[in-house]
Chain A
Amino acid sequence: MKPPLLEVRHLRKGFALPASARGLALPWRRPRPQVLAVDDVGFDIRRGEALGLVGESGSGKSTTASLVARLADADGGEILFDGDDIASVPARSAARAPWRARIQMVFQDPGDSLDPRANAFEAIAAPLRRLEALRGVELRRRVLRAAERAQLPQSLLGHFPHQLSGGQAARVGIARAIALAPALLILDEPTSALDVSIQVGILQLLDELRRESGMAYLFVSHDLQVVRLLCQRVLVMHRGRVVERGDTAQVLDHPAHPYTAALAAAVPAFVPRIDTAAPGARGGPANAPAPQPPPASPASFEGAAFPSR
Chain B
Amino acid sequence: MSGVLLQVRDLSVRFRRRARSVVHALDGVCFDLAAGQTLALVGESGSGKSVTALALAGLLDPAAEVTAGSVRLNGTELIGASAKTLQAVRRGELALVFQNPRRALNPIRRIGRQIEDALQARRPRPARAARERAIELLAQVGIAEPAARWHAYPWELSGGMCQRVMIALALSGEPALLIADEPTTGLDVTTQAGVMDLIAAQARQRGMATLLITHDLALASGRCDRVAVMHAGHLVEDAPVGALFGAPAHPYARHLILSTPRLGLPLQALRAVPGEVPDLGRTDLPPCRYAERCERRLDAACERTPVLSAFAPGHRVACWNPL
A and B held together in a complex: yes
What residues of chain A have their CB less than 8 Å away from a CB belonging to chain B?
A: 20, 56-58, 165-166, 192-193, 195-201, 203-204, 207, 222-226, 228-230, 262-263, 266-274, 276, 278-280, 282, 287, 289-296, 301, 306, 308-309
Given contacts A197-B259, A269-B221, 8 further A-B contacts (CB under 8 A): A57-B159, A57-B188, A229-B266, A263-B190, A270-B217, A272-B257, A276-B258, A280-B251
Q: How far is the CA of A130 from the CA of B257 in the complex (A)?
A: 43
Complex A-B: 19 CB contacts under 8 Å: A57-B159, A195-B215, A196-B217, A196-B218, A196-B256, A197-B256, A200-B261, A204-B268, A223-B189, A229-B266, A267-B218, A269-B222, A271-B245, A274-B246, A276-B258, A276-B271, A280-B323, A291-B265, A296-B264
Range of interface residues on chain B? Answer: 35 or more
Q: State whether A268 touches B256 (Cβ < 8 A).
A: no
Say yes or no: is B269 at the interface (Cβ < 8 Å to chain A): yes
Q: State whether A282 touches B221 (Cβ < 8 A).
A: no
Q: How far is the CB of B299 from chain A (nearest CB, A)?
A: 17
With A196-B259, A269-B218, A301-B263 known to touch, is A309 a contact of B268 (CB < 8 Å)?
A: no
Among residues of B, the one whose C-beta sits closest to the C-beta of A59 is B188
With A57-B159, A165-B45 known to touch, is A268 a contact of B219 (CB < 8 Å)?
A: yes
Say yes or no: is B247 at the interface (Cβ < 8 Å to chain A): yes
Q: State whether B215 touches A197 (Cβ < 8 A).
A: yes
Contacting residues, chain A, for B258 (C-beta < 8 A):
274, 276
Q: How far is the CB of B95 from chain A (nearest CB, A)?
A: 23
Among residues of B, the one whose C-beta sits closest to the C-beta of A206 is B267
CB < 8 Å neighbour of B262 from A278, A287, A295:
A295
Residues 145-185 of B contacting A (Cβ, < 8 Å) = 156, 158-159
Q: How far is the CA of A291 from the CA of B265 in the complex (A)?
A: 6
CB < 8 Å neighbour of B261 from A225, A278, A289, A294:
A225
Say yes or no: is B248 at the interface (Cβ < 8 Å to chain A): yes
Q: State whether A58 touches B158 (Cβ < 8 A).
A: yes
With A223-B189, A280-B251, A280-B296 known to touch, is A270 a contact of B262 (CB < 8 Å)?
A: yes
Q: State whether B44 touches A197 (Cβ < 8 A).
A: yes
Say yes or no: is B77 at the interface (Cβ < 8 Å to chain A): no
With A204-B268, A274-B245, A274-B246 known to touch, is A197 a contact of B273 (CB < 8 Å)?
A: yes
Q: How far is the CA of A204 from the CA of B158 in the complex (A)?
A: 32
Say yes or no: is B276 at the interface (Cβ < 8 Å to chain A): yes
Q: State whether A272 touches B45 (Cβ < 8 A).
A: no
10 tightest Cβ-Cβ pairs between the two chains A and B: A270-B218, A296-B264, A295-B264, A201-B272, A291-B269, A272-B245, A197-B259, A268-B218, A266-B193, A266-B189
Contacting residues, chain A, for B265 (C-beta < 8 A):
276, 291, 295
Q: Mark contacts of B282-301 with chain A using CB atoms, 8 A cut-off: 1 yes-contact digit, 0 otherwise.
A: 00000000000001100000
Q: State whether A309 touches B222 (Cβ < 8 A).
A: yes
Q: State whether A296 touches B295 (Cβ < 8 A).
A: no
Among residues of B, the one whose C-beta sits closest to the C-beta of A301 is B263
Among residues of B, the one whose C-beta sits closest to the C-beta of A283 is B295
Contacting residues, chain B, for A193 (C-beta < 8 A):
186
Q: Mark contacts of B216-230 with chain A using CB atoms, 8 A cut-off: 1 yes-contact digit, 0 otherwise.
A: 111101110000000
Contacting residues, chain A, for B217 (C-beta < 8 A):
196, 270, 272
With A200-B270, A289-B268 known to touch, is A262 a contact of B190 (CB < 8 Å)?
A: yes
Q: State whether A166 touches B45 (Cβ < 8 A).
A: yes
What residues of chain B have their CB less than 8 Å away from a CB belonging to chain A?
A: 44-46, 156, 158-159, 186, 188-193, 215-219, 221-223, 245-248, 251, 254-274, 276, 295-296, 323
Among residues of A, the one whose C-beta sits closest to the C-beta of B258 is A276
Q: State whether A195 touches B44 (Cβ < 8 A).
A: yes
Among residues of A, the one whose C-beta sits closest to the C-beta of B159 is A57
Q: State whether A274 touches B254 (Cβ < 8 A).
A: yes
Contacting residues, chain B, for A276 (C-beta < 8 A):
258, 265, 269, 271
Q: State whether B272 touches A273 (Cβ < 8 A).
A: no
Q: How far is the CB of B18 from chain A (nearest CB, A)?
A: 14
With A166-B45, A274-B246 known to touch, is A296 a contact of B263 (CB < 8 Å)?
A: yes
CB < 8 Å neighbour of B158 from A57, A198, A308:
A57
Q: How far is the CB of A160 from chain B (nearest CB, A)?
A: 16
Contacting residues, chain B, for A166 (C-beta < 8 A):
45
Q: How far is the CB of A277 from chain B (nearest CB, A)?
A: 9
Contacting residues, chain B, for A192 (C-beta < 8 A):
186
Q: How far is the CA of A87 from the CA of B139 in the complex (A)?
A: 46
Q: How far is the CB of A162 from chain B (nearest CB, A)?
A: 14
Contacting residues, chain B, for A58 (C-beta < 8 A):
158
CB < 8 Å neighbour of A266 from B192, B221, B272, B295:
B192
Among residues of B, the one whose C-beta sits closest to the C-beta of A201 is B272
**By CB atoms of chain A within 10 A, which of B45, B217, B270 has the most?**
B270
